[in-house]
Amino acid sequence: MEEFSGESFRNDISSFVNSDIDELLWYRELVHCRSMWSKWAKRISRAVLSFMVFEGICTVVFFVRKAMDRPTQPYVLLSSIVVTVLAAGFCICCAVAMNQFYEKISEYRDKVL
């Protein structure tokens, strides 16, 4: 470990950082964009899964009520519509955020390649 504590090692690191500062900053931005893109991708995945589970439950409830010849209350239908609209809006917001970070990732990739 002595090779990492010497003055020449520190000088080499300092010269590397000073000479390639732009690449290090781009890499830092790339890592940030990738982690943010991943975060929004997880959010949209969870939202879609939750939405599908909710809609499945609503479908079963509607089917059971229909099989039992019971009328479905309007608030049940309205709540299903509201949740559908909210889930779709949230998924659109997540997709917009993901797209912004993906564009930055693509910009960096095009710059390097």
User: With contact defined as beta carbons under 8 Å apart, do 53 and 84 qualify?
Assistant: no
Q: What is the pLDDT along the chain (113 residues), one digit of tens a residue?
A: 566 667 777 777 778 777 777 777 888 888 899 899 999 999 999 988 988 898 888 888 888 888 888 887 787 778 888 888 988 899 899 899 999 888 888 888 777 66
| Predicted local confidence at residue 42, as pLDDT | 92
- Nearest alpha carbon to residue 80 among 109, 60, 100: 60
Residue 113: its pLDDT value, please? Answer: 60
At 84 the pLDDT is 84
User: Does the model's pTM come out above 0.75?
Assistant: no
How far is the C-alpha of 31 from the C-alpha of 21, rounded, in Å? 15
